[in-house]
Amino acid sequence: MSLSDAIFFAALVTIVCAIGIAEKIIDVDMDQFLPENLKKAKIKRIFVERNTPLQGTNVQKEIKKAFESVLLPLGKADKNLLQKRMDMTFRRKMDHQINLLRKRKLCRDIRLTDVMPLPKNNFKRWNDDGREWRESILQCSSLERLVSPKSGKVVHQIYRKGSYLRILQSRHIRHSDRQGKNQEFYSDKLMITCPSCGAEVELSGQQIICPYCGGVIQSEFYDWQTEVFEIYKEMGANMRYTLLLFAGSIIMFICLTFSLWLINDIDISLTIGVVLTLLVFIGILSFISRDRAKQEKMREGIVRYSENYLRSCISEVLYKEKKEDLLDYGVDAIVLKKVVNTEQTTEITVQVFGKETYLPEKKKPYTKKVKKTMVLQRARYPERRKTDGAFFIEKDCPSCGANFIPDENNCCSFCGYSLQIDNAKWRIK
């Protein structure tokens, strides 16, 4: 068979196969073409007046409070609206962002509509590295704008029809509380009885005032600190399947073309072409599977490994001295390249992928991708104590920033962070 005939026949077979597979795996949602789901209708709903960004949504109270603790300060470029309890790295990031916005005389207004909390209008919870974590993701349509608060002039805006908002929070778990099998630490401390008047009061922090009798209530409850906030657009399942099908079709087309061109018997050439396509796919999947297994094995070699905490440490190292025009930044993927354990320390080599958004003066913001290779280390067993250390009467907590008197275990009485030794943090080598 000539090359042109082989190309034509291979293309025909590939198109027929692709259409057959597409009918099985791709589900076209016709609702997106309804009038209420078009951009114009969504923009109209986005600009409905609300006192708070999530007012009128079906988002549960705790999730709404977590997101609005970030959305409100950005929307007004006001640091006074920031929560008292934040991870120190995240607080420095928010402070820097609000300072830059105020310098440019702008605010970052994020408006939402058609909000759908995932999964099941609740936090996803887990615990690792001595912390309890919770994460919430909102699926929505969003309009992110940089606006002058005085004139109302919009400098820049991004509309995302399929948008996701993600917030990640954590709190330290006291060592004594970690000894049991409890998986939801302090979950029973959300409601307490006022010792003065007997009223049931919602506990939202270390110290609250009873709204009924005015009594001050102290508690050892460790409230949540925000670690990550991000807004992004994620590829839908149909788009992922379409790209995968497109890549598979290209591979199939190439294999069939060469088989039909080199082998005269059509039945044999088609069989060989299909077999080659399957072998290529199996090879790609085995490579991905082997790489994932390798990553998992390296993670298992790190005592009390937490990718979220490692991300926070890397972010602190990378952005200790921030560039003047840097508005927002984040560490996305972390790929472990090497793990070396000694008796005392763990040393890791990681490849870090992230993105940075810049806001130059009198120019539109722009985003660029970042890729770095870093070597970090920490104590191999972070909980082991070498010495008792000095006992401080007052101290600023390196985790939450609170000024406090350490408890009997020499831990922060607000967030539970251990002050005995600070060897759990990953430091650049």
pLDDT in tens, 239-248: 788 888 898 8
- pLDDT by residue (tens digit) across 121-172? 899 988 876 778 899 999 999 999 999 988 889 999 999 988 999 999 988 7
Which residue would you say has higher pLDDT here, 183 or 134?
134
Evaluate if residue 63 carries a pLDDT over 70. yes
Q: Which residues of 279-315 are buried (b: 16+ CB within 10 A; e: fewer)?
A: eeeeeeeeeeeeeeeeeeebeeebbbbbebbbbbbbb
Q: Which segment, 30-34, 130-134, 192-196, is predicted with the most confidence on average?
A: 130-134
Instruction: List alpha helices for 82-219, DSSP H.
Output: 88-103
Instruction: List alpha helices for 77-206, DSSP H.
Output: 88-103
Q: Give the mean pLDDT of the chain.
A: 83
Evaluate if residue 192 carries a pLDDT over 80. no
The predicted model gives 16-28 an average pLDDT of: 84
Q: How far is residue 80's CA from residue 173's CA, in Å, rounded to a whole number? A: 28
Evaluate if residue 20 carries a pLDDT over 80. yes
Q: Please, which pLDDT band fits residue 392 given cuts at 50, 70 and 90?
A: very low
| Residue whose C-alpha is closest to residue 207's, from 410, 404, 399 | 404
Give me the residue spans of the domains in the chain: 3-30+237-300, 187-218, 307-428
> What are the strands, taking DSSP E only, across 95-233?
107-118, 124-128, 131-147, 154-172, 191-193, 200-202, 207-209, 216-218, 225-233
Which residue would you say has higher pLDDT here, 68 or 393?
68
- pLDDT by residue (tens digit) across 317-331? 888 877 889 999 989
Q: Please, which pLDDT band fits residue 293 given cuts at 50, 70 and 90?
A: very high
> What are the strands, taking DSSP E only, across 183-261?
191-193, 200-202, 207-209, 216-218, 225-233
Q: Please, which pLDDT band fits residue 110 given cuts at 50, 70 and 90?
A: very high
Phi, psi at 64, each rounded to 5°: -60, -45
Tokens 């972010």 belong to residue: 315
Provide long-range contacts, Cβ within 8 A and 24+ apart, for 261-269. 261/1, 261/2, 261/3, 261/6, 264/1, 266/1, 269/1
Task: Kindly state the percentage of the chain with pLDDT values over 70.
Answer: 83
Evaluate if residue 282 carries a pLDDT over 80. yes
Task: Kindly state the percentage of the chain with pLDDT values over 90.
Answer: 31
- For 262-283, give the DSSP string: H-S-HHHHHHHHHHHHHHHHHH
Q: How far is residue 424's CA from residue 381's CA, in Å, rounded to a whole number? A: 8
Q: What is the pLDDT of residue 177?
A: 60
Q: What is the pLDDT of residue 385?
A: 46
The predicted model gives 73-88 an average pLDDT of: 86
The predicted model gives 1-8 an average pLDDT of: 84
Query: Quick check: bond before 119 cis, omega within 30?
Result: yes
SS3 151: coil
Evaluate if residue 389 carries a pLDDT over 50. no
Q: What is the pLDDT of residue 166?
A: 93
Close Cβ partners of 85 (under 8 Å, ≥ 6 residues apart): 205, 223, 224, 225, 226, 400, 402, 414, 415
Evaluate if residue 202 carries a pLDDT over 50. yes
The predicted model gives 172-194 an average pLDDT of: 62
Torsion of CA 42, 48, 54, 59, to 10 degrees: -60
Q: What is the pLDDT of residue 294?
A: 93
Q: How far is residue 123's CA from residue 66's CA, in Å, rounded to a whole number? A: 11
Close Cβ partners of 78 (under 8 Å, ≥ 6 residues apart): 98
Angle at alpha carbon of residue 93, lines to 91 and 99, rounded to 5°: 100
pTM assigned to the model: 0.75
Amino acid at 396: D
Residue 55 host element (H or E): none
Which residue would you say has higher pLDDT here, 285 or 195?
285
- Token pair of 253 as six digits: 């087309």
Tokens 């919430």 belong to residue: 136
Which residue would you say has higher pLDDT here, 402 or 153?
153
